Structure 1
Amino acid sequence: MPPDDPPKGYRQLCKGRTSIPGQVYILTTVTHLRRPVFSSLNDARILIRTLRHQHESGQVDSLAFVVMPDHLHWLVALRDSGELSKVMRSVKTYSARKIQSRCEMAPSGGRFWQTGFHDRAVRREEDFRALARYIVANPLRAGLAEKIGDYPHWDAVWLDGGDPAGGLV
């Protein structure tokens, strides 16, 4: 297989992927070789600003996220102008360029993110707040913090009365 061909697992992730306006999704993406890039406060904040930009540009309503040292979990509602693949490509491309330009952690082989991402459409009857709590509690389960308030790289809209623009860092 030529080096630019996506791996079989990536093709499976894309199979049947649809982007439905108004649909809520849980998105997960991982750094290349699971390098803990986001252990750096500055690099984690670059990714968070990138997520906020997607929200402010009208692609998604960002409902909750947590930036872990080597991956991202993001709960979003897709807006009319949004498309999952384009949103994630934009997030990954912009954050990688910005972080790599800082030269703090130059990735091996020029890769920053693993190819692809995982998405799961959330059923309307699922409790969005419970999903958000599960997402932002990842640092607790990983042993990175004892209380969620001790971990700096997460947010959820329900902190600010439910306004999708409020509460985002």
Structure 2
Amino acid sequence: MPRYLRPRLPGVPIFFTVALAQRGSSLLLEEVEQLRQAVRVTRAERPFAIEAWVVLPDHLHCIWRLPEGDTDYPARWRLIKARFSRAVPMGTRRDSHIARRERGVWQRRFWDHHIRDEADLAAHLRYCWFNPVKHGLVQRVEDWPFSSVHREIGGPRWEWAMQDEAP
């Protein structure tokens, strides 16, 4: 079995895409409070800063900063996914889920990207914030209720991230 090695760069913001196993589902919105609770409990045990976060029906995007010297974001995702999975109905399970004692809620892996510089961070902030518009869920970013954009609109980081045109 192939083993995926993730980069471990301390002090660098990290962009993530995490998806449900069943694309097209709306489970993340239906159970958004369970997701928030899983994140809260995990952050209390293993702190990280949230630069941006957007929850869509079947996937989410976020940008984290880990504490200085800490690079263990896979453990945090494992905890968040496990806590959420235990709190919601079991998904459709394949033999591989049963063998690994998984509940069939999440895609097994997640996508991560270590932010290279301020321009890369601004681009990924815009990506998070505009994703509900891209998917046709709303017309304007501020109309999506499951986004960290609401804490940024009109503030200095909003202006800085919006310097280039929106995607």
Alignment match, 2:104: 111
Q: Secondary structure, in 3 states, of the residue corresponding to 2:82? A: helix
- The answer as to whether partners of 1:136 and 1:148 remain within 8 angstroms in 2 is yes
Unaligned runs of 5+ in 1: 101-105, 163-169
**TM-score normalised per structure 2:** 0.73
- The answer as to whether partners of 2:14 and 2:63 remain within 8 angstroms in 1 is yes
Alignment match, 2:37: 49
Q: 1:37 aligns with which of 20, 23, 27?
A: 27
Identity %: 26
Deviations 1:93-145 (A, max 9, x none): 11111223xxxxx3112311010111000012425344212212111110101
Q: 2:66 aligns with which of 78, 82, 94?
A: 78
Unaligned runs of 5+ in 2: 94-102, 157-167
- The answer as to whether partners of 1:65 and 1:135 remain within 8 angstroms in 2 is yes
Misfit runs of 4+, over 2 Å? 18-21, 48-59, 124-131, 156-162
Q: Secondary structure, in 3 states, of the residue corresponding to 1:107? A: coil
Paired residue total: 145
**TM-score normalised per structure 1:** 0.73
| Aligned pairs for 1:3-152 within 5 A | 11=3, 14-15=4-5, 17-34=6-23, 35-40=25-30, 43-79=31-67, 80-100=69-89, 106-109=90-93, 110-152=103-145
